Chain A
Amino acid sequence: MSQAFTKSMARNIFYGGSMFFFLLLLVLTFDTVKSLPQTDNRENLTEQVAKGKHVWENNNCIGCHTLMGEGAYFAPELGNAYKRMGSKEAIIAFIKFRPKNGIPGRRSMPQFNLTDDELDAVAEFLKYVSEINNQDWPPNIQG
């Protein structure tokens, strides 16, 4: 034969292999979704926590921070912020008292003008996230 491999064999491996691994991905995804209740702390997923997630999204916190390591790298990891700051009150105070024009020369966090309920919700959300079983990440309290 004049060639080592044929286009049709390569094509078959592409289609067969892709379908095979796509199916396997579906199986593993299905198992993962089924197992999530064991790790995702959903028993504490209250309405206030869900509201807090909306506050988190509507103010694009992920645009500067990471949450469980994902997001932007400008500001600290917040997945364990509840543990690091010690209380909901500490979290609320930090967000509430950000100066409108920032801190001269330092990386600055906007003043979001959140209502007291929104502040409570986002703190509740961060508390909830800190209790998710995510395989012992981050390595230490600094995030």
Chain B
Amino acid sequence: MKYTSQMVAKPYFIAAIGLFIGQILFGVIMGMQYVVGDFLFPEIPFNVARMVHTNLLIVWLLFGFMGAAYYMVPDEAETELHSPFLAKLMFWIFLVAGALTILGYLLVPYATLAEITMNDLLPTMGREFLEQPTITKIGIVIVALAFLYNIGMTILKGRKTVINLVLLIGLVGLAVFFLFSFYNPDNIVLDKMFWWFVVHLWVEGVWELILGSLLAYVLIKTTGVDREVIEKWLYVIIAMALITGLIGTGHHFFWIGTPGYWQWWGSIFSALEPIPFFMMTIFAFNMVNKRRRQHPNKPAVLWALGTAVMAFLGAGVWGFLHTLSFVNYYTHGTQITAAHGHMAFYGAYVMIVLAIISYAMPMLNGRKAANSQLSQIVEMWSFWLMTISMVFITLFLTGAGIVQVYLQRMSDAPLPFMVVQDKIELFYWLREGAGIIFLIGLIVYVASFFVGRDQPEVELPK
């Protein structure tokens, strides 16, 4: 680790993992509620567990992105971070604000939370993923601006590498598009349309730039492949991401009251959205195959390759399966959606954050480049446990979705929603089983940070 200010990444990464654990605990609760309908009712109704699960996901990924930036940017820019103090301050503000928000969800009825946070002054609550009180959202904007300022100033005074610039564009885009969360018109169609300017343009837009730059960074560090090669491929990948993803937003405008032409524009462009993910997979495997050296940090390479594959499968393939409007007509808002959502988020964003943590944490803990043999083995076990169980979660939900679509949407005598949910119960039990294994995988992952700490790190002969 060349610059001492990179150390500010450590609390961010630790918070990220802590919140990840919280996310999965509530995920397991929700999975239970799917099959034992009144589990923890009325103390924790399903919608509360859900908003805790999804909000924790988003916040821990943001902690991960910020930690990644604080680690990567000084290294790439070849200069110390502009203000480590500001980074530490923002860490605590974000963490406390986040914790208070989650406690708010859990401790009081949502309508009460809206009242005590004065939501009526500027109502932004009550939309999916944007359940945060308006004051929390304002806090997020402040934290984001401070973060962008810190990172921006660092890049300005140092080397402006392609990786840094792409990361910065992605992060600026993240902040700018989040502003749409403040737009909440009375017109539900307008509300829904611009809600997607946050969600789609995040996860199928600027977040892909963040993903690409983090992946490129880990690949440069672990393979030793020439920076020029990696950076030019990064440009091509993110170009394809925006060229397909911007108009691809239209695949969310099929059934919400917007004009019918989106069925064509949205289907055609979003059908091509797998292309950048396909390229990322080829890119990652190619770079590793062409590597000039063996890096002692095996898990980091494993996470990097894994993220490309799982992102392609979850976001690319599963996304494609239900993106064409004549398919989506039947699958919209079903377990097919949930299946795609889980694998896509895990593959594209969870795994890349875990990859960067895997790469950086040993050095943040004082190692030269990697952890001990034991720690690496445990970490790689956690990779397989989490990844394989996620595949099964997705498969079970896909099965549930296919039966649901047939019985509720396609059959000659369509059955009511609750009746269908009863009939697909077996899939939900299986999903919960896979979810428990995922949780075990996560526990193993956390364990990997604690085992083998006194053992020497893996060093490969020159």
Question: Per the CB under 8 Å rule, do A and B touch in the complex?
Answer: yes
**Nearest-CB distance from A56 to chain B (Å)?**
7
Query: Which A residues touch B213, using CB under 8 A?
Result: none
A138 at the interface (CB under 8 A from B): yes
Of B57-65, B256-264, B358-366, B369-377, the one contacting chain A is B256-264
Q: Which 6 A-B pairs have the closest CB atoms?
A: A63-B47, A57-B126, A69-B333, A107-B37, A10-B235, A137-B255
Q: Are A60 and B126 in contact (CB under 8 A)?
A: yes
The residue on B at minimum CB distance from A107 is B37
Q: Are A69 and B332 in contact (CB under 8 A)?
A: yes
Flag A131-142 by CB within 8 Å of B: 1 or 0 each: 011110111111
Q: How far is the CA of A107 from the CA of B238 in the complex (A)?
A: 43
Query: Which B residues touch A21, using CB under 8 A?
Result: 242-243, 246-247
Contact residue among A35, A42, A70, A75 (Cβ-Cβ distance under 8 Å from B128)? A70
Q: How far is the CA of A33 from the CA of B253 in the complex (A)?
A: 12
Flag A39-64 by CB within 8 Å of B: 1 or 0 each: 11110010001100110111111111
Taking residues whose C-beta sits less than 8 angstroms from the other chain, chain A's interface range is 35 or more
**Nearest-CB distance from A67 to chain B (Å)?**
8
**Nearest-CB distance from A40 to chain B (Å)?**
4
**Nearest-CB distance from A9 to chain B (Å)?**
8
**Nearest-CB distance from B110 to chain A (Å)?**
5
Q: List 26 A-B contacts (CB under 8 A).
A: A5-B232, A7-B162, A21-B247, A36-B189, A38-B259, A57-B126, A58-B110, A60-B110, A68-B188, A68-B255, A69-B256, A69-B332, A70-B128, A73-B334, A74-B47, A76-B418, A100-B42, A101-B42, A102-B37, A106-B37, A107-B418, A133-B257, A134-B256, A137-B254, A137-B329, A139-B410
A90 at the interface (CB under 8 A from B): no
Query: Which B residues touch A133, using CB under 8 A?
Result: 257
Chain A residues packing against B (C-beta within 8 Å): 5-7, 10-11, 13-14, 17-18, 21-22, 24-25, 28-29, 31-33, 35-36, 38-42, 45, 49-50, 53-54, 56-64, 66-77, 100-108, 110-112, 128-129, 132-135, 137-143
**Total A-B Cβ pairs within 8 A:** 228
Q: How far is the CA of A128 from the CA of B246 in the complex (A)?
A: 30
Q: How far is the CA of A7 from the CA of B409 in the complex (A)?
A: 49
Q: Are A54 and B37 in contact (CB under 8 A)?
A: no
Q: How far is the CA of A139 from the CA of B407 in the complex (A)?
A: 12
**Nearest-CB distance from B220 to chain A (Å)?**
14
Flag B90-117 by CB within 8 Å of A: 1 or 0 each: 0000000000000000000111001000
